[in-house]
Amino acid sequence: MNSLPIGVRALNPHIPREVTALMLALQLRSSSTVPLRDLTDAEWESLLRFCDVAHLTLSLAQLERDGFPSWVTERLEINLRDNAARFERVKATYREAAAALDKAQVEYMVLKGFAQAPDYVKDPRLRMQSDLDLYCPQDMIQGAQAALQSIGYEPEETLDYSRADHLPSMIRSGDWQWRGNPFDPDMPLSIELHFTLWNESVSFLQMPEVDSFWERRTKRVIDGMAFPALSSVDRLGYLAIHILRNLIAGDWVLHHVHELAIFLHAHADDDIFWKTWKETHSSSLRAMETIPLCLARSWFSCDLHEELEREIICLPVGLTMWLQRFPASSIEGMFRQNKDWVWLHFALLKSRTKKRQLLRRALIPRRIPRRNDPVVRLENRQPRRFRIAHPSGRYISYLASRLTAHAHMVPATLFRGLGWWLSQRQVGT
């Protein structure tokens, strides 16, 4: 066990055996598929359900599959074929949207999705994509929305977007119906128009430097499709702060960190890239980016360039101790909710007022979820199991379970935070 990466070693007691097996297979050094080959059919079914919602099915499909059950191999082959066909829809959707934006003289750039190829995923057909993420400057965002409405897209108004970095998702009505296949080539894509690359009002953290990402945008071509995108250095920066944003929101980041690890491992000896990174991004921004880079190494055993090693050494003690004490809490949170992320966010804040606001927001619920909120129907991004058939009874059951969980989580969070705080004092003595 001690030979395992610290992140995998720390999470073993808290997550299903099959997911630990997947993590071991996805290591970038000393990976092994032996634990996967030992899974039962029931564990395989559980793992495939998890991979679908965690966006790791296509990563699993790229592993050496000798010894996998034949039905698992067949299922993964179907997923690969479907997603390759789906990429044709992705391209068609992008080209139509791009034409509408160009006609309206709206400037934009593509975030994530197919733009991650080939540095973070070798081929866009090997990346799950359910929407297009486009960034527009504030003065063009309304024009972008109007341009998409002109070709049949309308904002989705039923969800709460108050903490999102984008306008309500744009969707086009049609007769397509969900048939349980997340790689369905016929499934339409939604479009998200991002009005910021970092939401200070939500995070309480200033990061004005990211505004320069727009000024350094570039033109790229993938599979014959030309599009405006972030520069290579800023693409790394945006992925890192996107992971950080989700970390301090308690959201899932596993597949993003896996992509980041792939990039870091492949560029561990790229002196020119890391020299440019250091010259382009300030020390404060690099410190923010370094947190997800540490998780990438901890979870997936990727090599790091020596410049990153120096950045890690320079992290403030509060961040260093959080990474040491909670290396896998984000992964554990995919199965058993925790709020360890509160103390990471707390360590990043300078203002005492903001710290108090964070603790109130994190530990005292802002509102009671409505009956039709997705959180009521889903648990760990999968349908919640109820013993009660009546909708009102299910809703009351959910509220009772949430109240009970919150009553246990608050003291646990404070206790773990106290341990984190004391560990910093021990380092300082």
Domain assignment present for 66 = no
Domain assignment present for 135 = yes
Q: For residue 249, what pLDDT is reported? A: 93
Domain assignment present for 241 = no
Domain assignment present for 276 = no
Q: For residue 76, what pLDDT is reported? A: 98
Domain assignment present for 421 = no
Name the one residue in this structure whose structure tokens are 């010259």.
279
Residue pair 264/304 in contact (Cβ under 8 Å)? The answer is yes
Two tokens, residue 371: 């009956």
Range of the domain at 95: 91-171+186-230
Tell me, what CATH number does 114's domain have? 3.30.460.40
Angle at 259 between CA 159 and CA 234, to 5 degrees: 80
Domain assignment present for 117 = yes
- Mean pLDDT (10-residue bins), the chain, 429 residues: 54 81 95 96 97 97 96 98 97 98 97 97 96 96 97 89 90 91 96 96 93 96 97 98 96 97 98 98 96 96 96 95 94 92 96 94 74 56 61 64 73 92 79
- Side chain identity at 34, as an amino acid letter? V
Domain assignment present for 208 = yes
Q: For residue 104, what pLDDT is reported? A: 97
Residue pair 98/114 in contact (Cβ under 8 Å)? The answer is no
pTM: 0.92
Domain assignment present for 272 = no
**Domain tally, the chain:** 1
Q: For residue 158, what pLDDT is reported? A: 80
Q: By C-alpha distance, which of 346, 375, 379 is closest to 362?
A: 346
> What 3 state SS string does the chain have?
CCCCCHHHHHHHHHCCHHHHHHHHHCCCCCCCCHHHHCCCHHHHHHHHHHHHHHCCHHHHHCCCCCCCCHHHHHHHHHHHHHHHHHHHHHHHHHHHHHHHHHHCCCCCEEECHHHHCCCCCCCHHHCCCCEEEEECCHHHHHHHHHHHHCCCCEECCCCCCCCCCECCCEECCCCCCCCCCCCCCCCCCEEEEECCCCCHHHHCCCCHHHHHHHHCCEEEEECCEEEEECCHHHHHHHHHHHHHHHHCCCCCCHHHHHHHHHHHHHCCCCHHHHHHHHHHCCHHHHHHHHHHHHHHHHHHCCCCCHHHHHHHHCCCHHHHHHHHHCCCHHHHCCCCCCCCHHHHHHHHCCCHHHHHHHHHHHHCCCCCCCCCCHHHHEECCEECCCCCCCHHHHHHHHHHHHHHHHHHHHHHHHHHHHHHHHHHHHHHC
